[in-house]
Amino acid sequence: MSLDDQKSSASNTSTHTTGLIMLALSAICILLALKIFKGRKRDVLVLIALGLAVAAFYVLANPQSTEKHYEKDNVENAYGEVSLRIDCSVVFDHWEELDETLKDGDYWPKDGIILERSEYSIEEGDTAFDVLLDAVTQNKIHIDYQGGDANIYNTVYIEGIQYLYEFSCGKLSGWTYAVNGSFPDVGCSSYVLSDGDFVEWMYTYDLGRDVGNLFEGEGE
């Protein structure tokens, strides 16, 4: 029976709550099938399909409590160490252009360094995005990003760090990154890091010009 399959797949999943919810779901499915849809095969099939879809969504979504999300997990196959720093000091130079809603809260340290330079272990093939995600998770810093499947560049786009979003401080503002002082031409999830790299995430007011990313033919 496919309903039993649903139950057995539930016991395989990792978390306790997942199992409980899936058990309840299949119990509801069985009850409904027995009571309401007596002698209506197609309805039962559709219901099972719906139940499986919900279960699949649940497994894909992988809900985690906040505490569990911020638990430190150890890097197993350490390949090297990279250092990372997050800097939004530009905001304090253009305070008058900042969104009203961000002015009231005390969201960033006064020097604009959201995350001091520190070392993080990486595995082979880790990208600039992986190490950023590691760092913000370890330090309980808020992050919002657009997944690589959601845009035409197939690379992750960092929308906001610590409630500071793109366009929060003027029309040309947003997050940009530099590795060892130079600005890569690819998105952060396409840049593979090597041992000893220094990744710097910077908030820019002027499409990167103010933090040192000059376009060809500009400046020196």
Partner 1 sequence: MKFFSNLHPIVLFVHFVSVMGMVMFTMNPLLIGMAFLSSVVFALSSEGFAAIKKTFIYAGCFIVIVTVTNPLFTSNGVTELFFVFGRAFTLEALYYGAAAGFMLASVFIWCRAYSAVITSDKFLYLFGKPFPKLSLVLSMSLRFIPLFARKMKAVSDVQKTMGLYSKESLTDRFFSGARIFSSVLTWSLENAVDTSNSMKARGYGFPARSSFSMFRFTQRDGVMLTLIVCLAGTAYMGIINGSLDFYYYPAVLPFVKTHFTIYSILSSGVVLFLPSAMETVEKALWNFYTSKI
Per CB under 8 A, residues contacting partner 1 are 40, 42-43, 46, 60-66, 68-69, 100-102, 104-105, 107, 142-145, 160, 163, 165
Number of residues written out for the chain: 220
Of 41 and 217, CB closest to partner 1: 41
Q: How does DSSP assign 129-164, residue by residue?
A: HHHHHHHHHHTT--EEEE-GGGSTT-S-EEEEETTE
Other C-beta atoms within 10 Å of 183: how many?
Answer: 15
Of 61 and 218, CB closest to partner 1: 61
Of 65 and 154, CB closest to partner 1: 65
Tokens of 175: 């997050």
Report the run of H or E that residue 5 belongs to, with start and end. Answer: helix 2-12
Task: Tell me how far, at minimum, the Cβ of 62 lies from partner 1, in Å.
Answer: 7
Buried b (16+ CB within 10 A) or exposed e, 25-38: bbeebbeebeeeee
Task: Tell me how far, at minimum, the Cβ of 63 lies from partner 1, in Å.
Answer: 5
Task: Tell me how far, at minimum, the Cβ of 139 lies from partner 1, in Å.
Answer: 14
Of 87 and 130, CB closest to partner 1: 130
Task: Tell me how far, at minimum, the Cβ of 23 lies from partner 1, in Å.
Answer: 20
The residues, any chain, with a CB within 8 Å of residue 215's CB and separated by 6 or more, are 209
Of 112, 123, 125, nearest in space to 200 by CA? 112
Of 30 and 136, CB closest to partner 1: 136
Task: Tell me how far, at minimum, the Cβ of 201 lies from partner 1, in Å.
Answer: 17
